[in-house]
Structure 1
Amino acid sequence: MTRSTTPPGVTGQPPATYDGVLSRSLGVGGNVLITLSGISPASSVFVLGGAALAAYGTGVFWGFAIAGVISLLIALCYAELASRHPVAGGDYSLVSRTLGPATGVAVFFVGLVTLPLIVAIFALGVADYLGVAIGGLDPLWTAIVVTVLATATACLNIRANAWVTGAFLFVEMAALALLAVLGFVHVERPVSALLDPQAFDAATGGLAPLGIAGLVIAVTQGIFSYNGYGGAVYFAEETKNARRAVARAVLWSAAITIAAEIVPLAAILLGTGSLTDLFGSDLPVEAFLEERAGHAVTVFVLVSIALAIVNAIIAIALQSGRLLFAAARDQALPASLAAPLTRVSASAQMPWVATIVMGVLATAGCLVPLGVLLNATGSTLAFSYGFIALAAIMMRRNASPGDGYRMPWWPLPPVAALLAIATIFVVGVLDPNQWLSLGIAVGIVAAGYAYYFCYLRSRAGTHLLLLDVRDEEG
């Protein structure tokens, strides 16, 4: 790979940089389209939002509102970090260049394991939604076919992927708009009902107040549902004027996601005929659609959700390929593995080998039982967000006043985010049902640190070369 030097800084030392080899052809809008596709607000509302409605009732509004505030705080941390280090590789690139190589490698391990498994989780759910229109679909083979097709699509030029994911995204946003309209034109209760957290009580068949513990878990569900706005950083090297544009892409993605999820959920709560029936349903969002729009519209929307899931898989495949490419270019892997993983397509200007390798891992993940996949990915998000918040604090201490985007209300965003994440950890530790997931997350992070100290640290002169990429657009 080629390296260049930037103009000398105040120290007189010209820091080395990578020459850009990816297609710098995305604007803020194109980056946001792909990032939102990876989040998939519609599937979040139907799957995660539906599960939250069944478990936490009207507490979902408070939970998702608080989660929205926390997510915006974390998005501010991502934005400031990305404006200093607009390098493909997402969390790994930001953390390694701020908190140091050891923690960066731990975060790389988190992404290396979880991104392919998240693709597998999404893919295994496609048949459930397509099945309403196409009977007899085998979940496993459907997942494998979808994963292979998504990986092939991810090997196209980034602008082509922006158009493809943008078209799918339009369909899923239309589905969310339909939910909002159906709820707001059939309002059955005052807005104040949203502010009174009540959940379904199976013992009485009615509603009962939701406790603080339940509300905290609803917040964690909301944070997980909004997750993905940091994905904009994966495309930093393909975004024009990246030091400014990627920060804007992160913030726009977070704001749009929060609005696109909380508005239809509020509409459902206000517009359903019976809260008790809604919360007692196995699939609350689908039940609301059946109630207000009928079976034919419900089938159409569920097929749209299947397309939204496929869209998310394409976007996550794009991200995962860039993670592996960035780590290989930094020599975070043995040279024999790193060399082929840094290959870039001459025509599409994308890391095709790394993308295919991650696609193969995702396809293999489809063979793993769903329960194992969920446990393996369930608690890693808190670790990732915790490292990002710490990185934002450390970077501000070392940054010059005029360097890139600077978040408002400093140091509230990272400190408040860390407190929220600490609360999530405490809740997880107190809940025996989450111990396995937490243990797996701790194990992945520990494996990353062990790999660094046992292999990479002694090769510091030739491995883990943490350079930035020259932003040729400004």
Structure 2
Amino acid sequence: MSASPAPDGVLKPTLSVFDVVAITVSAVTPASSVFVIAPFAIQQAGSGVFLAFVMAAVLALMFAFCYAELGRAHNSAGGEYVYAKRVFGGMAGYATFLTVLVMLLFIPPVLATGAATYLNNALGTKFDSQTVALVIVVSSYALGILNIKLNAWITGTCLLLEVAALLVIVFIGFGNPVQPVSVLLAPQIVENGVLHLAPWGLVIGAVGIGLFSYNGYGPAVLLAEDMKCGGKGVHKAVLWSLGLVVVIELVPITALLIGAPSLSAMISSPDPIGYLLTSHGNETLSRLVSAGIFLSVFNAIVAIVIQIGRVVFSSGRDALWTPRINKLFTRIHPRWDSPWLATLFLAIPSALLSFSSNLADLTSFTVLLIILVYLAVALCALMSRVLLRDRDHPYRMPLWPLPAVLAVLGAGYLLVTLIYAASVRDIMVIIGVLALSVILYCISGRLSPAYQKL
């Protein structure tokens, strides 16, 4: 006899901590971070990418402590906006919700656009990157409405293939050491074809890209209500996810630097990983790795779509919209036990963003949104124990409030740096999002008993 479907407004708890880690790490997609995102850091900081990613890992750990404590204390599929609302009030909740929503809107097309290169490398084709990105995004949303237990199995299997592709880089790089270990600690960039010491400003500036490459461990908290243990292990899922992501990404980046036949040629190459593969490997190996990277990106976007569905579902249950929209977003599919309408909410706009031709602009704007969300989470973790003394905090980060303070300072510094370098368009979009949050709160949230009781 089959299990009865979950009623509307309720998620069916079927996941273990291992399942949540599998989905979360798949959403981070370490392979695409190394192949698609890390090259931007290499272009900016040269061999300083290693130190930038190490500093990003330390800062990410501070954020992970914040997510772990908040996720365990506030156990909700809404994640960041729920914390902001409970700690700082209704307006903060709406502002955080819309910022998270826009961030989740941009991440799939960013990853999908970068994946087109690897599909063409694997097949020896010349498919248009925008067309490939569109197909990936649409297919990912279609798969995202399936049963989450099935998706956990699929994403976990694909994650193993993704790690296998990265191990090729590790074996090639460490198996053919050319550069001294000192290259990791003495950042160098290329100017006019000549290697020079990299200014520390460039290295620190690449920390934001490093955070983007690790980003995705925090959203493990979005799956707390899907866990069989009632979310009691969500803090473990957050910390384990970050630990695995850092190892899976940092080791191949180290191997890339150590194994580069020419450091200047690698730094100058638009495809540094491809440079390593063709220098030490062969065309067949390069194609197989490219196929693995393409699969990993597709896998990641499916996992991210699952997270999107949880955030939007929670927003409907917490009555952030009009009554009719709230009802639609909390509808559970009778067969797949998924919030399918909530999951599909961003499908069309995300697909349309696939037609953007500037991956660098999409990436820089997404990094800005991520830092905004991190700042909100860090502030919530800093003040949650102070302002919500009646709420139990079963998991408490070590040395509180030091990790939260460091997270606030780190996010604040990066945010100021990124805003200073951001385009007027990006700043106006963020101002528009904040203005829209005020409008929505005044129209719906302020008058909603369900949201006020959240």
TM (norm. structure 2) is 0.93
Which aligned pairs between 1:273-422 and structure 2 lie closer than 5 A? 273-370=261-358, 373-374=362-363, 376-397=365-386, 398-399=388-389, 403-422=393-412
Shift of 1:93: 2.5
1: CA distance, partners of 2:264 / 2:183: 13
Shift of 1:274: 1.4
Shift of 1:158: 0.8
SS in 2 for 1:200: strand
Shift of 1:260: 1.0
Which aligned pairs between 1:40-119 and structure 2 lie closer than 5 A? 40-119=29-108
Task: Specify the alignment match of 1:137 in structure 2.
Answer: 127
Shift of 1:370: 3.8
The 3 A distance-change label for structure 1 pair 442 and 72 is farther
2:22 is equivalent to residue 23 of structure 1 = no
Read off the aligned partner of 1:301 and give its amino acid letter. V
2: CA distance, partners of 1:216 / 1:442: 26
The question of whether the paired residues in 2 share the 8 Å contact of 1:147 and 1:362 is answered with yes
Task: Specify the alignment match of 1:153 in structure 2.
Answer: 143
Read off the aligned partner of 2:169 and give its amino acid letter. L
The question of whether the paired residues in 2 share the 8 Å contact of 1:116 and 1:361 is answered with yes
Long gaps (5+) in structure 2: 1-6
Read off the aligned partner of 2:46 and give its amino acid letter. G
Shift of 1:458: 4.1
Shift of 1:428: 2.3
User: Cα deviation per residue 1:232-270 (whole Å; 9 max; x = unaligned)?
Assistant: 011111012244311100001111111111111111111
1: CA distance, partners of 2:187 / 2:389: 43
2: CA distance, partners of 1:121 / 1:368: 9
The 3 A distance-change label for structure 1 pair 366 and 141 is same
Shift of 1:325: 0.7
The 3 A distance-change label for structure 1 pair 402 and 91 is closer
Task: Specify the alignment match of 1:171 in structure 2.
Answer: 161
Shift of 1:281: 1.1
The question of whether the paired residues in 2 share the 8 Å contact of 1:236 and 1:242 is answered with yes
2: CA distance, partners of 1:248 / 1:121: 29
Shift of 1:178: 1.6
Range moving further from structure 2, 393-402 or 410-419: 393-402
Range moving further from structure 2, 177-186 or 330-339: 177-186
The question of whether the paired residues in 1 share the 8 Å contact of 2:165 and 2:292 is answered with yes
The 3 A distance-change label for structure 1 pair 183 and 399 is farther
The question of whether the paired residues in 1 share the 8 Å contact of 2:46 and 2:267 is answered with yes
The question of whether the paired residues in 1 share the 8 Å contact of 2:9 and 2:317 is answered with no
User: Cα deviation per residue 1:200-226 (whole Å; 9 max; x = unaligned)?
Assistant: 11x2x1111111210111111111111
The question of whether the paired residues in 1 share the 8 Å contact of 2:266 and 2:275 is answered with yes
Long gaps (5+) in structure 1: 1-17, 468-474
2: CA distance, partners of 1:239 / 1:126: 31
User: Cα deviation per residue 1:353-403 (whole Å; 9 max; x = unaligned)?
Assistant: 111222233223324454664465341111100000010011121346963
SS in 1 for 2:345: helix
User: Cα deviation per residue 1:401-430 (whole Å; 9 max; x = unaligned)?
Assistant: 963110001111110011111211232244
User: Cα deviation per residue 1:265-301 (whole Å; 9 max; x = unaligned)?
Assistant: 1111112111111111111111111112222111111
The question of whether the paired residues in 2 share the 8 Å contact of 1:37 and 1:169 is answered with yes
The 3 A distance-change label for structure 1 pair 466 and 299 is farther
2: CA distance, partners of 1:126 / 1:194: 28
The question of whether the paired residues in 2 share the 8 Å contact of 1:27 and 1:240 is answered with yes
Task: Specify the alignment match of 1:210 in structure 2.
Answer: 198
The 3 A distance-change label for structure 1 pair 457 and 465 is closer
The question of whether the paired residues in 2 share the 8 Å contact of 1:83 and 1:242 is answered with no
Shift of 1:465: 4.8
The 3 A distance-change label for structure 1 pair 399 and 190 is farther
Range moving further from structure 2, 79-88 or 340-349: 340-349
Read off the aligned partner of 1:288 and give its amino acid letter. L
2: CA distance, partners of 1:229 / 1:28: 13
Read off the aligned partner of 1:255 and give its amino acid letter. G
SS in 2 for 1:58: helix
The 3 A distance-change label for structure 1 pair 66 and 458 is closer
Shift of 1:440: 2.6
Read off the aligned partner of 1:316 and give its amino acid letter. I
User: Cα deviation per residue 1:141-161 (whole Å; 9 max; x = unaligned)?
Assistant: 322322222112111111100
The question of whether the paired residues in 1 share the 8 Å contact of 2:66 and 2:404 is answered with yes
Shift of 1:341: 1.1
TM (norm. structure 1) is 0.89
Shift of 1:181: 1.7
Task: Specify the alignment match of 1:6 in structure 2.
Answer: none
Which aligned pairs between 1:431-470 and structure 2 lie closer than 5 A? 431=421, 433-452=422-441, 454-461=442-449, 463-467=450-454
1: CA distance, partners of 2:195 / 2:430: 35
Read off the aligned partner of 1:188 and give its amino acid letter. V
2: CA distance, partners of 1:123 / 1:427: 27
The 3 A distance-change label for structure 1 pair 236 and 402 is closer
Task: Specify the alignment match of 1:470 in structure 2.
Answer: none
2: CA distance, partners of 1:113 / 1:251: 25
SS in 2 for 1:268: helix
2:414 is equivalent to residue 427 of structure 1 = no
Range moving further from structure 2, 241-250 or 320-329: 241-250
User: Cα deviation per residue 1:436-455 (whole Å; 9 max; x = unaligned)?
Assistant: 43443343233213421x31
The 3 A distance-change label for structure 1 pair 283 and 447 is same
1: CA distance, partners of 2:206 / 2:230: 35
2: CA distance, partners of 1:332 / 1:54: 42
The 3 A distance-change label for structure 1 pair 160 and 329 is same
